[in-house]
Amino acid sequence: MAEVNEQQIVDALRCVVDKERNQDIVSLGMIQGLRIKDGHVAFSLEVDPERGPRLEPLRAQVENIVHKMPGVLTASVVLTAERKQAPPPPAAHNHGPAPGGPHGGAQGAQGGSLLPDVQAIVAVASGKGGVGKSTTSVNLALALAAQGRRVGLLDADIYGPSLRRLLAITGQPVSSDGAKLDPIEKYGIKSMSMAFLVEEETPIVWRGPMVQGALEQMMRDVAWGPLDIVIVDMPPGTGDTQLTMAQKVPLAGAVIVSTPQDIALIDARKGLNMFRKVEVPVLGLIENMSYFSCPHCGERTEIFGHGGAKREAEKLGVDFLGEIPLDTAIRQTSDDGQPIVATDPEGDHAKAYLAIATAVWNKVQQTTADQAAAAPRIVVQ
């Protein structure tokens, strides 16, 4: 069966009328972020926040129409409410107008930033998947907590969230104030992930604006409370979604995780360039799976030679924040949801993560101070 295309979907939806506004939803420009992949269709219906609760029947109707179309396997339609007080991401350029047209520029004077009670938000990113980015994020967060910081960990990987597994978290977040969700606390850190909110096996086919919406909700609608630092485990890669996320999250800086091979293959460089594009300071590079440490005799084998990452970091003009060996104990503890910094805090691996945590924290302080001392900002009255 031929795959359905965008035009066919739009045409089919012209008959759906938003009764309160007496016009069809296509002419009203309510369809946003339409994506089709292998018969899976996903998009959002942009609505006024105050109308959201009343429009569930419309959403269901639209989803139903699309689902019944030939060539459609699944249809996923969500309501997104454009916030009238969207804050501009600090130190980043906006990419064109906000979706939704005429209301796009309506930003409140004070805005209200995302995570206002958090001192610093740091992204952990990598040029590609599988380099140990999530394992590093979790252990780095735990190491910062062990050093007395109040720490949050946000899993920004909407498509492939991994935090439930890495922290062995069961159950769903609850809301103690009836307004915001409480983050889940484990091993002394607060965490939030899409994996806490959806069924494990549910494929998440959201794209574009929906992804942004979900990420923003995990910041805005979660009671993080006052924290010293939030570590954001970014999705792997350096595509558009990552770029948008880097813009949406008010980052103090980014840390790039790379393996020795990838540094040689300049994957890390792509990660660096992505953050430079959106003017997010790169705090430095962490080399993961740096050398092999033998589980039997403890001998260290420099599989890829030693010092390559450090030299490469110098060449790229970023700090080298430290190295973590390739070790079965790290893999096992990580995959069992018993991260090594929490379960073997006196061991050599925990020490390596603690040293990196110190380097990251110092670098955050320095960068924040530099930013504060930078040229005065233009204030629009």
Residue 32 as a binder of ligand ADP (CB under 6 A): the answer is: no
184 vs 330 by CB, closer to ligand ADP: 330
Structural contact between residues 41 and 76, judged by C-beta atoms closer than 8 angstroms: yes
Binding mask 234-253 for ligand ADP (x = CB under 6 A): --x-----------------
43 vs 353 by CB, closer to ligand ADP: 353
44 vs 139 by CB, closer to ligand ADP: 139
Residues 6+ apart with CB under 8 A from 257: 124, 125, 126, 131, 132, 133, 136, 285, 286, 288
75 vs 340 by CB, closer to ligand ADP: 340
Near ligand ADP in 71-130, by CB under 6 A: 126, 129-130
Interface with ligand ADP (CB under 6 A), residue from 11, 335, 336, 348: 335
Q: Give all strands of the β-sheet with 40-47 in edge-to-edge order.
A: 31-37, 40-47, 74-81
**349 DSSP 8-state letter:** H
In the complex, least distance from residue 242 CB atom to ligand ADP, rounded to whole angstroms: 13
What's the length of the chain?
381
Residue that the structure tokens 């302080």 belong to: 365
129 vs 239 by CB, closer to ligand ADP: 129
Structural contact between residues 103 and 232, judged by C-beta atoms closer than 8 angstroms: no
- Residue 40, classed as helix, strand or coil, is strand
In the complex, least distance from residue 171 CB atom to ligand ADP, rounded to whole angstroms: 22
**90 DSSP 8-state letter:** T
Structural contact between residues 209 and 132, judged by C-beta atoms closer than 8 angstroms: no
**19 DSSP 8-state letter:** T
Interface with ligand ADP (CB under 6 A), residue from 45, 58, 62, 131: 131
108 vs 160 by CB, closer to ligand ADP: 160
DSSP string, 111-151: ---SSTTEEEEEEEE-SSTTSSHHHHHHHHHHHHHHTT--E
Say how far apart CA 273 and CA 266 lie, in whole Å: 11
Count of positions on this chain that bind ligand ADP (CB under 6 A)? 19
45 vs 140 by CB, closer to ligand ADP: 140
Contact stretch for ligand ADP (CB under 6 A) within 57-65, 110-118, 329-337, 371-379: 329-337
Cα dihedral value 310, 316, 318, 321, nearest 10? -30
Binding mask 170-199 for ligand ADP (x = CB under 6 A): ------------------------------
Residue 289 as a binder of ligand ADP (CB under 6 A): the answer is: yes
**307 DSSP 8-state letter:** S
Structural contact between residues 336 and 165, judged by C-beta atoms closer than 8 angstroms: no
In the complex, least distance from residue 286 CB atom to ligand ADP, rounded to whole angstroms: 10
Torsional class of 154: left (φ above 0), alpha (ψ -120 to 50), beta (otherwise): beta
Interface with ligand ADP (CB under 6 A), residue from 133, 248, 269, 363: 133
Planar angle of CA 151, 353, 261, nearest 5 degrees: 120
Contact stretch for ligand ADP (CB under 6 A) within 143-151, 305-313, 319-327, 352-360: 319-327
Say how far apart CA 192 and CA 115 lie, in whole Å: 13
Interface with ligand ADP (CB under 6 A), residue from 285, 334, 356, 360: 334
Residue 285 as a binder of ligand ADP (CB under 6 A): the answer is: no
131 vs 280 by CB, closer to ligand ADP: 131
Q: Which residues bind ligand ADP (CB under 6 A)?
A: 126, 129-135, 162, 236, 288-289, 324, 326-327, 330-331, 334-335
